[in-house]
Structure 1
Amino acid sequence: MQAKKSIHPRLVALLLVLLAAGLAVYVIWRLDTAPRTDNAYIYADTISITPEVSGRIIELNVKNDQLVHQGDVLFQIDPRPFQATLAKAEGSLRALNEQIELAQRSVNAQKYAADAARSNVERARAAAEQAADTLDRMAPLQAPGYVSAEQLDQARTARRSAVAQLQAAVQQSQQATAAISGVEALVAQRAVITAEIALARLNLEYSTVRAPFDGRVLGLTTTAGQFAAAGRPVFTLGDTRHWYVVANFRETELANITPGRRVQLYLLTAPSRRFSGVVESVGHGVFPDDGGSQDAGLPHVARTINWVRVAQRFPVRVLVEQADSSLFRIGASAVAIVNDTH
C-alpha cells in the first residue's frame, strides 16, 4: 500500500492560528454585543425599623431572618404611659367642656342683667322727661295763682330726683354691659386640648410597630424587655417585593447597556437556575481609587489590577423579574449577561 501523505506542520499551525484569531474575534464581538460580568451582587432596598416613641419592648413578635407581611406587628412598646396621657387629655377636655357650659350660663345671666339695666334707663329717662314736662307746665301758672310756690318746689324736686335716677340707671347699665364676659379663651383652650388628644392617640398608635411592607427581618439582636428609644433603629427590614442585581461593568462596555435592556442572571448559590431582569439604571458616577479625598456618597468599585491601567467599572442596576425570595440574599454573588437584543 501507498503511504498516506502527512499534513505539513506549517499548515496545521496556520490553521490553528486562524482558528484562534477567529475565536478571539468572535469573543470580542460577543462581549461587545452581549457584555457579561461576574462582578455582581444581589441587592434589595432596606429600611431601619425605628420606633416613633420611646418605651420598654413588652412583645417581640419576629425573629431574625423571618419573612413578614405588610401590617404585621413587629413589636409592641409598653402602651400604658400613652394610654394614661390620652386618658388625662380626654378628662381635661370633659372638665373644660363643663367649665365652658357654666361660663356660658354666667354670660347669659350677665346679658339678661344688662338688658334689664337698659330697660331701667328707659324708664328713668321717661320719668325724667315727664317731671320736666310737669315743671314746664306748672311754672307759668304760679303768677296767676293757680299753682302755689310749694307745688312748684315739689315739681322742681321731682324733676331733680328723676334726673338723678336716670343718671344712676345709666351707670348701672354701663356696669352691667361691661360685666359681660365671654368664653372665647376657654374655647381656645379646648382647641389646644383637642390637639393634645390627637397627639396622645397618635403616640399610642406608634407604640405598636408594624411592617410597612412585605420584607425580611435582618440584623435583629434584641429581645423583649429592651428599652427602645425614639429615633434609634431596632433592626433592619429588607424589601422582598423587589430584588435587584447590581452588576459592575467596565466603562468600555457601557455604550451597549441602556435602560430597558434584557439581562440574564445567575446566582452562585443556584447556578442551574436562570433568572431574567431588565436594566433599570446605569451608573454615572463612582469614586476613583486613584484620586480624591471625599467620596461624596459615590459607590466604591474596586479595580481588579492596580499595577496597570484598567478600565473603571460602573454599577448597572438590574430589576429581577419573578425573583425567588428563598434563593435571593442581599450581598450574594451573581453573574449578569446582557442580551444582544432588547
Structure 2
Amino acid sequence: MTAAHSTDAAKQRPRTWPAILLIVLAALAVFAVIWRVDTVPRTDDAYAYADTIGVSPEVSGKIVTLAVRDNQAVKQGDLLFEIDPRPYQFALERAQASLAQLDAQIPLTQRTVNAQGFSSDAARSAVVRAQAAAKQAGDTLARMEPLIAKGYISADELERARTAQRSALAELAAAQAQAREAQAAVSSVAALVAQRAVLQAEIATARLNLEYATVRAPFDGSVVELRTSVGQFVSAQKPVFTLIDTRHWYVVANFRENELGNIRPGTHATVYLMSNTRLRFSGSVDSIGFGVEPQDGGGTANGLPNIQRSINWVHVAQRFPVKIRVDHPDPQLFRIGTSAVAVLQPGRRDNSARRARSDGAPS
C-alpha cells in the first residue's frame, strides 16, 4: 500500500526541467535578438532615392522641337527640347551688322580726326607767325620813338609804325582764337572704340542666348513629369519637367537614434527593394542625418523650447535618416520612393572608407 502510494505521488509531481529549458531558450533568443539589433541594425522604413533637377530653359520662347517623352531615359548631351531660335538669331545678326557698320565708321572718323589735327597744327603755326610779326612791329616802333625828337623821322612815319604794331597785335589775337577753335574741333575715336566693345558684348550675349535655345541633358537620367508639347511657350528659369540623375542611386533608411552609435560614413550595407526581394544590392553609408523635426513638443518658439505639458509613459525613439549609396543599382528596379529594406554591418567598412581614413579624412 505504501509502495503504490509513493508511485502515484511520483507520477503527480510536475516535471520542472522542460519549463526551465524553455525559459533558458527564450532568454537566449532575446539576447540574440538584442545582440543582432545592436551589431546588425536593420530597418524596413526605407526608400530609394536619387537626385533630381528641374529642367529649366535659360531663355523664353515657344518649343519647336520636343525630343523626349515622359519616363524616357536619356544620356548626357542628348537633345531634350529646342526653343524657337529665330528671335535670338535675329538679335545676333543685328548686333553683328551694327559692329560691321561701326568698323566701317571708325576709319572715316579717324581721317576726319586727322584732318582736324592738321588744321590745329596750321593754326598753331599761324600763331607763331603772328607773334613774330607783332614782335617785329613792336621793336620797330620802339626804335622810331626816340628819333622823332631829333627830327630824324616825321610824325607821319611814327604813326604808320604804331598802326603796324596795332595791326600785328590784332592779327596775333585772331590767330590765337583760330588756334583755340581748331584745337577744340579735334575729336577722337575713343567713344567709337568703347561702343565697339559694347557691341562685342552684345554679340557674345546673343550667341549665348542662341545656344541656350537648345536644351540638352546635363547628365544621364530619366525624364519625369513631362506635361507639355510642341508649341508651348516656356519661360526662362521655370521648369518644364524633372530629370532624375540615374548615375547614383541611394536608399534613405530611417534608423532609431539608439542604433546610430556604431554607424559611420563608409559602413557596409545590404539593401533590397520590396518590388523584388530576391535581389540584394551592396552599398555603403554616404551620410547620416543631423536633424529632424521634433514631433513631441521639442520645437522652438522665439528661440525658446516649447515643451508640452503632457508626459508620455512610453517614449518612442526618434528616427534619423541614413543615406546609403548603392554600388551597382539595377536601373530597371530603382525608382524614387520605392520601398526598401536596409541592413547595416558596422563591423565592415568599404575600401573607400579605409582609404579616406588612411588619407586623414574623418570617418
Which bin holds the TM-score, normalised by the shorter protein?
A: 0.7 to 0.9
Q: Give the alignment's Cα RMSD to 1 decimal.
A: 2.4
329-338 or 130-139, which moves further after superposition?
130-139
- Which residue in 1 is equivalent to 2:323? 317
- Which residue in 2 is equivalent to 1:246? 252
- Which residue in 1 is equivalent to 2:102? 96
- For residue 313 of structure 1, report the CA deviation from its aligned partner: 1.7
128-137 or 204-213, which moves further after superposition?
128-137
Please list, as runs of the form range in 1=range in 2, the aligned pairs for 1:131-146 lying within 5 A after superposition.
Answer: 131-142=137-148, 146=152
211-220 or 88-97, which moves further after superposition?
88-97
Q: Given residue 87 of structure 1, which amino acid in structure 2 is its aligned partner?
A: E
**Separation in structure 2 between the aligned mates of residue 263 and residue 183 of structure 1, nearest angstrom:** 71
153-162 or 8-17, which moves further after superposition?
8-17
- Which residue in 2 is equivalent to 1:337? 343
- Which residue in 1 is equivalent to 2:214? 208
Q: Given residue 253 of structure 1, which amino acid in structure 2 is its aligned partner?
A: E
Please list, as runs of the form range in 1=range in 2, the aligned pairs for 1:16-165 lying within 5 A after superposition.
Answer: 16-142=22-148, 146-165=152-171
Aligned with 1:266 (options 248, 257, 272): 272
Task: Give structure 2 stretches of 5+ with no counterpart.
Answer: 1-10, 302-311, 349-363
- Secondary structure of 1:170's counterpart equals helix
- Whether 1:255 aligns to 2:265 is no
- For residue 172 of structure 1, report the CA deviation from its aligned partner: 0.9
- Which residue in 2 is equivalent to 1:220? 226
Map Cα deviations across residues 179-229 of structure 1 (whole Å, 9 max, x no partner): 222333333333333322222222111111111111111111222221111
**Separation in structure 2 between the aligned mates of residue 117 and residue 38 of structure 1, nearest angstrom:** 96
Q: Given residue 130 of structure 1, which amino acid in structure 2 is its aligned partner?
A: Q
- For residue 136 of structure 1, report the CA deviation from its aligned partner: 3.1
Task: Give structure 1 stretches of 5+ with no counterpart.
Answer: 1-5, 296-305
- For residue 123 of structure 1, report the CA deviation from its aligned partner: 0.7
- For residue 142 of structure 1, report the CA deviation from its aligned partner: 4.7
**Separation in structure 1 between the aligned mates of residue 183 and residue 255 of structure 2, nearest angstrom:** 86
**Separation in structure 2 between the aligned mates of residue 324 and residue 137 of structure 1, nearest angstrom:** 115
Change (3 A) 1:195 1:210: same
- Which residue in 2 is equivalent to 1:300? none
**Separation in structure 1 between the aligned mates of residue 188 and residue 236 of structure 2, nearest angstrom:** 42
**Separation in structure 2 between the aligned mates of residue 321 and residue 76 of structure 1, nearest angstrom:** 35
Map Cα deviations across residues 31-57 of structure 1 (whole Å, 9 max, x no partner): 111110111110000000011111111
- For residue 16 of structure 1, report the CA deviation from its aligned partner: 2.6
Aligned with 1:230 (options 231, 236, 240): 236
